Amino acid sequence: MFSALAFAARHGRAALVLGLVAGLLLPGLASALQPWLPEMVAGLLFLNAYRIGLRKAAGGLAEGIGTLKAIALLQVALPLLALGIAALFGVAQSPAAVALILMLSAPSVTGSPNITALMGHAPEPAFRLLITGTALMPLTVVPVFLLAPGLGDLAEVLRAAGRLIGAIGLTVAAAFLLRRLTLPVMREEQARAIDGLTVIALAVIVVGLMAALGPALRTDPVLVLHWLGFALAANLGLQVLVFAVLRRRAGSGAVPVSVVAGNRNFALFLIALPAATTDPLLIFLGCYQIPMYLTAILMKPLYGRTELRTGR
């Protein structure tokens, strides 16, 4: 069993591509998995927390301050900058601008530690950004929604964020407790086995996330291609930009911050905001999964340099 899971871990990037393809080519399977997405995402988070453990997740004082600075940049400064530029050009209410502002206001996706690890970097910094960014989201979204009330109902977003924080808190606490009770010292082969499980979980989750994209691709492929180009530019372009800014200052720490910069839990707003705001963005959500799940392949040449690696 360990060898099979280690095999999955070694071929993680290929597994993510297979998940994307399956989501497009198997719409019946994608539709069947879609209702189980919340449970699958919670399971992925549990595996991440169990793999990392409380001690590595907590980090030290310097790591904590760096995490807060990164969250201020990613979840406050960037969406406000995007809002200001969109307002300057008079397109703040356009679907593309709304999608970008909401994306930048969201915390990290649950899979960011796994994506970081697949490129040979330690997952702990990305995990800290995920947990802390989600916990602080009720504070970080306030200035964005106050300056752009057309985005939706701030109160509903805060309620959704509260539910998300509660679910994440319970899941992570359970994982940390179980890790302490069952495996306080994790051997390398055990860690690789858990890495294999998380790769499989990611590949299954993306099938469900692609449920809305396959039908749209068949009915209006031109619209899908437009949204796909926008999603690629928003995700990968932002990663390159943040990496270029932080590389000299943060060294290896620039990689997890850059990964999180482009890969956000945009789906949270689809749950919290009214359909009138979110319906035009559903295709963007499906397209957004493509650069997210291809980050470990497309960004490997940039992030995979030996001098940046920190180990696992």
Tell me the pLDDT tens digit for each residue of 39-51. Answer: 898 999 999 999 9
- CA atoms of 114 and 53, how far apart (whole Å): 14
Query: b vs e for 245-279, b when ≥16 Cβ sit within 10 Å of the residue's Cβ?
Result: ebbeebebbbbbbbbbbbbbbbbbbbebbeeebbe
Instruction: Determine the distance from the C-alpha atom of residue 95 to the mean position of all C-alpha atoms in its chain, rounded to a whole number.
Output: 21
- For the four alpha carbons of 280, 286, 292 and 297, in that order, the dihedral sign comes to negative
Count CB neighbours of 10 within 10 A.
Answer: 14
pLDDT digits (tens, 9 = 90+) for 217-251: 888 899 999 999 999 999 999 999 999 999 887 66
Q: What pLDDT band is residue 260 in, cutting at 50, 70 and 90?
A: very high
Q: At 298, is the secondary structure helix, strand, or coil?
A: helix
22-31, 155-164, 187-196, 254-263: which has the minimum mean pLDDT?
A: 155-164
Q: Which CATH number fits domain 2-305: 1.20.1730.10, 1.20.1530.20, 3.30.1950.10, 1.10.3720.10?
A: 1.20.1530.20
CA distances from 258 to 108, 118, 252, 299 (A): 11, 14, 11, 10
In which element (H, E) is residue 145 found? helix 124-147
Residue 99 makes CB contacts below 8 A (sequence gap 6+) with: 230, 234, 266, 281, 284
Q: In the numeric block, which tokens belong to residue 176? A: 């940390």
